[in-house]
Structure 1
Amino acid sequence: MKKRILLVDDHSIVRSGLRSLIELEDDLAVTGEAATGMEALELVRKQDFDVVILDISMPGKNGVDTLRDLQRIRPELAVLILSGYSEEQYALNLIRSGCRGYLSKDSGPDEIVKAIRTICNGRRYLSVELADLLARELTKPSDKRMHEMLSEREFQVFYKLASGKSPTQIANELFLSVKTISTYRARVLEKMNLRTNADLTYYAIKNELIN
């Protein structure tokens, strides 16, 4: 039986390219496509998939939030992040959040197919770049960048604050109280040794975490 794959990317040309690549393989099949995180969650509730290939930067519900929701509603579902951002920018945080692999969109077709098959077989896929990052984290944990020291939820709040969302907006999106979001904000600022939301935005832009 072919492994069922859901493509989640807001660019139709990216989905089309991935579909063409995957359909060359006898053991893989694209059985769903979504342009937004909300569409992806709706499909996952209705259909069975073996792997989700997920982008990070999408309108509305971004890939960071979508990954967290997928973990909640289908914890056994494997997720491969395929992003325009390099491994160094997001991979460690999202591996901690539950994705099974992380690839840059600059990766070659053979590596993308290899990653899908590895994940379908129940293993994590570590690119050379990601394996190097994990090795450096183990040998020199003090070399971590500031956002890599945040917990999963702190990183989620950091990403939204840096993107310009208010605590009220974030509270509504995450179904938490404004007070709780303010607590997370204070922790994030303290851990990152920053003072304001503008500092968070500047940090995110400088480190190419947001465009």
Structure 2
Amino acid sequence: MIRIAIVDDHAMVRAGLRQFFADQIDFAVVAEACNGREAMDIVRAGEVDVVVLDIAMPDQSGVDVLAAIKARAPDLPVLVLSGFPEAHYATTLLRQGASGYLNKDCDPEEIVKAIRTVHRGRRYITAGVAERLADGLAGGGEKAPHELLSERELQVFLRLARGETVGHMAESMSLSVKTISTYRTRVMEKMALASNSDLTYYALKAGLIQ
């Protein structure tokens, strides 16, 4: 039996997934969370085999939650199920430890297949994502500026783009204001942007925030 935790801030999405998974004889939804804090409570309990994670949540981004999960339980498979197209986040999140990435518009049967795949310790990668990863390895294709950011830089970028202050970010990420400011400077340099409003505009245009 594959014990699954669903992390999504929309109750209807959780209910739909729970009902669909109930039809799978080898699936059991044993926990649900609507934010990052609840997700980490589930991970700390250590009684799940696969986490199905949305990346757009109110209290902190799924990027942050993924990083926290992998720090706490590096071998726990995390399947990202997102409303954002693969092109926006997939390769970045896979590099940061996600076991798979699917868009919410995918065929439900593909979610089932993906969960079984990541539970076996393998990654689930669609043909489109595989092509993007191959392009990256081969040095082909032009990478988007945000794809050049490190994991921590991406977290800072997304938080700044959503209007979070450096002070609040430092507190919630347990880092100093000086460290956050250093990350902000790196992000600005790598992305060739000049202000927080530029970051927000880029993120909105790229579909990284809503």
TM-score, scaled to structure 2: 0.97
Unaligned runs of 5+ in 2: none
Once the two structures are superposed, what CA deviation does each residue of 1:80-133 show, in whole Å capped at 9, x if it has no partner? Answer: 000000110011111111110000000101111010000000000001221121
Unaligned runs of 5+ in 1: none
Letter in 2 for 1:109: P
Once the two structures are superposed, what CA deviation does each residue of 1:129-154 show, in whole Å capped at 9, x if it has no partner? Answer: 21121122223445000000001111
Describe the SS at the equivalent of 2:81: strand
Following the alignment from structure 1 to structure 2, what is the Cα–Cα distance between the partners of residues 94 and 47? 22
Q: CA deviation at 1:191?
A: 0.5
Following the alignment from structure 2 to structure 1, what is the Cα–Cα distance between the partners of residues 85 and 120? 25
Per the alignment, residue 89 of structure 2 pairs with: 90
Once the two structures are superposed, what CA deviation does each residue of 1:137-194 show, in whole Å capped at 9, x if it has no partner? Answer: 2234450000000011111111111111111111111100000011001101000011
CA contact (8 A) 1:161 1:197 kept: yes
Per the alignment, residue 148 of structure 1 pairs with: 147
Q: CA deviation at 1:62?
A: 2.1
Describe the SS at the equivalent of 1:147: helix
Following the alignment from structure 1 to structure 2, what is the Cα–Cα distance between the partners of residues 98 and 116? 15
Per the alignment, residue 78 of structure 1 pairs with: 77
Per the alignment, residue 126 of structure 1 pairs with: 125
Per the alignment, residue 8 of structure 2 pairs with: 9
Once the two structures are superposed, what CA deviation does each residue of 1:27-77 show, in whole Å capped at 9, x if it has no partner? Answer: 111111111111111122124111000001111122111111111111111
Letter in 2 for 1:10: D
Number of residue pairs the alignment of both structures matches: 210
Per the alignment, residue 178 of structure 1 pairs with: 177
Structure 1 segments of 4 or more deviating over 2 A? 138-142
Per the alignment, residue 41 of structure 2 pairs with: 42
**Structure 2 vs 1, CA of residues 206 and 19 (structure 1 numbering), >3 Å: closer, same or farther?**
same
Per the alignment, residue 64 of structure 1 pairs with: 63
Following the alignment from structure 1 to structure 2, what is the Cα–Cα distance between the partners of residues 72 and 83? 21
Letter in 1 for 2:209: I
Describe the SS at the equivalent of 1:184: helix
Per the alignment, residue 23 of structure 2 pairs with: 24
TM-score, scaled to structure 1: 0.96
CA contact (8 A) 2:135 2:141 kept: no
Describe the SS at the equivalent of 1:165: coil
Per the alignment, residue 103 of structure 1 pairs with: 102
Following the alignment from structure 1 to structure 2, what is the Cα–Cα distance between the partners of residues 68 and 138? 23
